[in-house]
Amino acid sequence: MTAPPHSLRNFVNGAFIDGAASFEKVSPVDGRLVATVHEADGEVVDRAVAAARQAHNGPWGRLNTAQRAAFLRRVADRIEERFEDLLVAEVADTGKPTALARELDVARAAANFRAFADVISTAGLDSYLTELPGGQRALNYALRKPLGVVAVIVPWNLPLLLLSWKVAPALACGNTVVVKPSEETPSSATLLAEIMNEAGAPAGVYNLVHGFGPGSAGELLTTHSDVDGITFTGESATGSAIMRAAAPRVRPVSFELGGKNAAVVFADADLERAVDGLERSVFTNTGQVCLCTERVYIERSVFHEVTAELVQRARSLRLGHPDDPATTTGPLISVKHREKVLSYYRLATEEGATCLVGGEVPALGGDLDRGAWVEPTLWSGADADSRVVREEIFGPAAALIPFDSEDEAVRLANDTTYGLAAAVWTRDLERGHRVAGRMRVGMSWINTWYLRDLRSPFGGVGMSGIGREGGEHSLHFYSEPTNVCVAL
């Protein structure tokens, strides 16, 4: 399934254009060249924003809700028709197992476009018949108006899934977009540009600029005076920088940022089911999911039992080429990111934690040794104030920590500046509801992980973000209600 190196260009006003410079995208699997990417400079970003504005004021702005929904469904159909192309692109960029990308990334992209076509087709707004004391009557009703030009900045861990999660509702509400994918994962966003053309998008509805953050396309886009809103998924520090850029013109922002997510395992849990869930929540996508678990709190009476089983699960994971059916775990996204993760592996030992499994760079042999591989890793004995317990690692690693009471478990889980997600494992559903409700997070799971209804609110609190997306919650960000009052 390996694709030859190719050139990825910016997409502006319905056509691909060169950048002023270029950079190389290499595979995290074996270091081979995946693509040469054209970096957008200020001129390209200006052209992209101007094209988006022209389309918003022109043909796209004249479409009604039913026409926009029909377009989203055409995009979903075309994603499915080009499923294998998108699959190759995602695997080449991320190195994740092909089976995972097939099941999760590409399938969810099509589902996202269909889901938001359905949401916009059925969503309503307030209307009131008002009767004043003097007998005056009035009808008040709200209209949904798009923000205008939306900057969409997406990360490298789930590039197509999160891109579609933002572009679909933005277009559903009548906005136009300028997309800046991560420099680590430029391929699927470029293919989506082709798909937009094939689905009949007017020129300027979907624009794409490649590049980096500070001093490049990311900063140029978020500071642009003609961008009306910014949606971003990524690191908390980057989110803070974007908020500062948005502040002078008080532009709306939607951020899904970092996490240091906790799982709580009570002694009465179905322990096999809990360990199954923990294996997924700690190690899925090599721990590179914002919702992954990095802190596991286990009731002391079952701590050793759960720990031993989870260590065995970590040892059974198979690192290897994405196309190998036996592969369960891919590389990290880059050698640079591996250095960050390895710094925490070293730090854990320095801080007094015991490494139960992993902690090293594996020797896989051949070309794979040029990739960004690390071993799945678990620690015990980490102090609550240690950096590996408090800071986001974003790799296949977690600290295992015992607790003695429900109140202690909740206190430990909430002792963080982040607040994205939590999972509670117990057979006592009354306690499950109680503990899940006490978690200071945007999302709580009981006896499961990563199970979502696309209509439900998605987002975090604290350093994990601002705003909610999903279903009609997305519409609240990508559009603004305008009240109309009619005297009767």
Active site (annotated) includes residue 256: yes
Q: Smallest Cα–Cα separation from 441: which of 414, 409, 474?
A: 414
Distance (Å) of CA 460 to CA 182, 391, 440: 21, 16, 9
Annotated catalytic residue: which of 39, 183, 184, 256? 256
- As a whole number of angstroms, the distance between CA 64 and CA 77 comes to 20
Distance (Å) of CA 316 to CA 94, 310, 313, 468, 471: 22, 10, 5, 37, 38
* 3-state secondary structure at position 289: coil
Helices 187-198/65-81 angle, 10° precision: 120
Edge-to-edge strand ranges of the sheet holding 354-357: 354-357, 377-380, 397-403, 293-299, 261-265, 421-425, 443-446
Residue 372, judged by CB atoms within 10 A of its CB (0-12, 13-18, 19+), counts as buried
Q: Smallest Cα–Cα separation from 359: which of 337, 371, 372, 343?
A: 343
Residue corresponding to tokens 């909740």: 410
CB-hemisphere CA count at 13 Å for 403? 22
Annotated catalytic residue: which of 290, 299, 392, 469? 290
Active site (annotated) includes residue 173: no
- Do 125 and 141 touch, CB atoms closer than 8 A? yes
Q: How open is the CA angle 347-348-353, to the nearest 5 degrees?
A: 145
- As a whole number of angstroms, the distance between CA 161 and CA 105 comes to 5
Active site residues: 256, 290
